Copies of this chain bind each other. A is one copy, B any other.
Amino acid sequence: MSNNILRKNIIDLLKGGQRIDGRGLDDFRKISIQTGVVEKAEGSALVNIGSTQVIVGVKMDVGEPFPDTPGEGVLMTGAELTAMSNEEFERGPPGEDAIEIARVIDRTIRESKVVPVEKLGLDDGKVWMVFVDMYTMNADGNLIDAGTLGAMAALMTARMPKYEDGKVIREPGKALPVTGKAVAATFAGINGHILVDPEEREESVMDARLTIGMRDGKIVALQKGGNGSFTDEQIEGMFDRALAHEKKLLKHLK
């Protein structure tokens, strides 16, 4: 189906308040999260939102702090849109989509301060590096919200390695300190309609996208994407809807 026809079909449905998979405009697809799925990882989670599936893992290592934040741990978030997970994705180094997704997930985790990096310093001046890597297993839209849930779940269940005499000992030690929970809700704008948790067909025809990262009823990150635009009213509406979703999303994080 060409993109133009798909867009027309989707818009026709939206005019009647319907989505292509039968959901309401403010409905997420079914979410499930499974943690501890990779024993070798310090923490891991497999997240499904509808048929979108991502796996997120946390690995920790010891390294040098950034010069301007001595004594603070370093949090790094990566994302690979694997060619395995969608016909459209290509092999090779991360493209602009993967980079944006990783940086938006990173932004919500980082700005929500759920990982107290100031507690991740070590006695010898070194610090813990926390690598959070997401891989798409099946990509069917809304990778940011899935990745954010996965990152959060992996961090919350991560157990730190030990560090003795300048060496990392890979035995699960105490839990990684995590002081709260952050989630993200992403909306697509299609011909004036605003719908949450777009699946891939919706993303392929949307005008614009807004991701809202949240913690404790506050907004910690925003990212508008897509070639189109939003009105002031639409943005305010998405804030209200996102904050209502926050509670529901948090239920999936234990």
Taking beta carbons and an 8 Å cutoff, which residues of A are in contact with B? 67, 167-168
What CA separation (Å) do A167 and B70 show in the bound complex? Answer: 11
What CA separation (Å) do A67 and B168 show in the bound complex? Answer: 9
Could you list 2 A-B pairs, sorted by A, with CB under 8 Å?
A67-B167, A67-B168
Shortest CB distance A7–B (Å): 32
Shortest CB distance A253–B (Å): 34
What CA separation (Å) do A174 and B167 show in the bound complex? Answer: 33
Q: Which residues of B contact A167 (CB under 8 A)?
A: 67
What CA separation (Å) do A167 and B67 show in the bound complex? Answer: 8
Among residues of B, the one whose C-beta sits closest to the C-beta of A67 is: B167
What CA separation (Å) do A167 and B125 show in the bound complex? Answer: 14
Shortest CB distance A140–B (Å): 32
Q: Which residues of B contact A67 (CB under 8 A)?
A: 167-168
The 2 closest A-B pairs by CB, nearest first: A67-B167, A67-B168
